[in-house]
Amino acid sequence: MNLYAGKIIRVNLTEKKITIEETNRDWIDQYVGGMGLGFRYFFSQVRPDVDPLSPQNAMVFMNGPLAGSMAPLSCRLPMVSKSPQTGTIFESNVGGAIAAELKYVGYDGIIIKGKSDQPVYIAIKDGQLEIKDAQGLWGKGIFETEEKLKSLEKDEEIKSFIIGPAGENLVPMACIGTEAYRQLGRGGTGAIMGSKNLKAITVRGTQGVQVADMKGFLDYTSEISQSNLLTVDNLWAHTDGTPAFVASTNEMGIHPTLNFQQGTFEYWEKIDSAAVKSIKRRARACRSCPMACGNFVRTEKVMVEGPEYETLALAGSNCGISNIEAVAQFNEICDDLGLDTISTGNIIAFAMEMTEKKIHDFGVTFGDEDNYLRIPKEIAALSGRGKEMAQGVRSMAARYGGKEFAMEVKGLEMPGYEPRGNWGMGLAYATSERGACHLRAFTAFSETPYDLAAMAQEVVSQQNFNSVKWSMCLCDFWGTVNTEIMSQFLKFGLGKNISAEQLDQIGERIWNLSRIFNLRAGMKKVDDDLPPRIKKDGSSPKIYG
């Protein structure tokens, strides 16, 4: 089958049973792959009212059509499920090489339901599918577990999905790690995996990817890489990576600072791109990527890939932390424990403001580096103050107060672009299927940030476009890609024409499907809202714009 493997793995952990089925070709035509196909499979078999942490919830890992091929920036693998943070359908995706490995082992996706009676991991190799004992891995961090799995499987080249202590303890913002420093980061992916007593999934394949027109595919890959991808509009990702946004967001007044009390950070130059470069040792790339946007940093105290902009903003300036090494340490700690740095940074910033305003004493204030670095371990272990903080800012505010500055949408803490300085970002956060999210629509650098009509149209357009982009599983950093380019890859890969207009329609169909699921799950239009701080304190030109 051209581009697609044509098979899906289905795992029932309760029964310890693995079956194989053919990939639904009608759904491929309607939803392409990745996010869209994942939504469609999830929609077909999970009730909207399911408890996200129950055995009945499913984890749907679904590959894109270009995974494992030479198409650039195409090696991302999404997971679709129902979020323990928001109670909505959601998608989270990750780069690295695991998407290619899944294709090379001969499968388009993995669907997991049920709950094991003891810790297990799933091992997927050419011709072998096994559920194995993981009791010896339970309680260990992601970094150590990854090395132990390579030893257990006797293969240094396996790629893995792994949860840390945060996922094991069902922390709602827990994430899944892969290749040590990459994460299925948002929405509680790790908690869902932990609720199934599933410590890890290992994947190793040696098969190939079939395309209809190999010469045409390779020629087009080479041509479009030079003419569209490796251009000035995208190469910032290679030269600086996302830390470059620290300077630009501060200049525009949309940089989250002190729990979104301000849109600029006085010490931004201490956590900007130059600061990251000062401790950078090398670049790191995903499979089939010529951009190598990852910044691998190392000092006497820390070794990690990152920090990315979101961590620099939410765990840096938003917490009043201006020490680049401390932010990198925070990043490393969260990566090993399996915690989303965006939510964790937000939660700590909220606790800092709660403490300073004497609403509730969490024992941490803005700029308190020592406590800041201790809290992630407390959250992951559900110990002391971490037990309450682990439930997120919505829960903390409901218990103690401070709802007016609890920076979340639908229960998901906000990312690093201040909506008061760009109304399109506010609309994007409010209407995303997974809560506050900058990856469904991104208008932060628009030239008309306060033109509500223009921003509304742009958000709708980007939500539909990104739905098909994530279904093709193309990296966000290919900023100049369009549905015409996607159409050409599919033409050479599949041997049939799927027009740009058809892909546009597919994107809208995918977005609508997620909305239908959420409405059936009980979401109402009043849930498409923003925190009171954003709506009430939005007029200060001194801070914003």
pLDDT at 1: 87
CB 321 within 8 A of CB 331: no
E-state strands within 181-279? 182-184, 198-204
List Cα–Cα distances, 310 to 8, 255, 369, 418, in angstroms: 34, 10, 18, 12
CB 38 within 8 A of CB 78: yes
Q: What are phi and psi of 449, to 5 degrees?
A: -65, -20
Is 210 part of any domain? no
Is 224 part of any domain? no
Number of DSSP helices (H) and strands (E) in the chain, helices first = 21, 17
Task: Dig out the tokens for 501 from the structure.
Answer: 């207009």
CATH number at residue 520: 1.10.599.10
Q: How confident is the model at residue 536 (pLDDT cuts 50, 70, 90)?
A: confident
- Residue 255 pLDDT > 70: yes
- pTM of model > 0.75: yes
Distance CA 240, CA 274 (A): 8
Task: Dig out the tokens for 318 from the structure.
Answer: 């938003």
391 shares a domain with 246: yes
Distance CA 94, CA 184 (A): 5
CB 83 within 8 A of CB 434: yes
325 shares a domain with 369: yes
Is 544 part of any domain? no
166 shares a domain with 93: yes
400 shares a domain with 435: no
**How does strand 198-204 pair with strand 120-125?**
parallel
325 shares a domain with 306: yes
Is 212 part of any domain? no
CA angle 76, 79, 82 (to 5 degrees): 155
433 shares a domain with 398: no
245 shares a domain with 144: no
- Residue 399 pLDDT > 60: yes
Tens digit of each residue's pLDDT (9 = 90 or more) over 155-212: 999 999 999 999 999 999 999 999 988 999 999 999 999 999 999 999 999 999 999 9
Q: How confident is the model at residue 539 (pLDDT cuts 50, 70, 90)?
A: very low
Is 230 part of any domain? no
Whole-number percent of the chain with pLDDT over 90: 97
pLDDT at 257: 98
Is 488 part of any domain? no
Distance CA 417, CA 249 (A): 7
CB 119 within 8 A of CB 194: no
**Max Cα–Cα distance, the chain, nearest Å:** 67
Total domain count, the chain = 3
> Of 413, 444, 462, which residue constitutes the final position of a domain?
413
Q: Which domain holds residue 378?
A: 237-413
- Residue 541 pLDDT > 60: no
96 shares a domain with 42: yes
CATH number at residue 37: 3.60.9.10
pLDDT at 127: 83
Tens digit of each residue's pLDDT (9 = 90 or more) over 53-85: 999 999 999 999 999 999 999 999 999 999 999
Is 521 part of any domain? yes
**Partners of residue 176 on adjacent β-strands:** 184
pLDDT at 537: 66
Going by C-alpha positions, the residue among 94, 84, 79 that lies closest to residue 38 is: 79
pLDDT at 249: 97
CATH number at residue 333: 1.10.569.10
Is 542 part of any domain? no
- Residue 476 pLDDT > 80: yes
> Which residues, 6 or more positions from 266, have their beta carbon under 8 angstroms from its beta carbon?
none
258 shares a domain with 167: no
Category of 523 on φ-ψ map: left (φ > 0), alpha (ψ -120 to 50) or beta: beta
135 shares a domain with 271: no
41 shares a domain with 157: yes
Mean pLDDT value across the chain: 96
Q: How confident is the model at residue 296 (pLDDT cuts 50, 70, 90)?
A: very high
455-483 per-residue burial string, b: 16 or more CB within 10 A, e: under 16: beebbeebbbbbbbbbbbbbbbbbeebeb
Tens digit of each residue's pLDDT (9 = 90 or more) over 185-199: 999 999 999 999 999
> Of 387, 413, 439, which residue constitutes the final position of a domain?
413
pLDDT at 545: 47
Distance CA 331, CA 308 (A): 9
449 shares a domain with 430: yes
pLDDT at 451: 95
**Partners of residue 303 on adjacent β-strands:** 298
Region 383-390: what's the mean pLDDT? 98
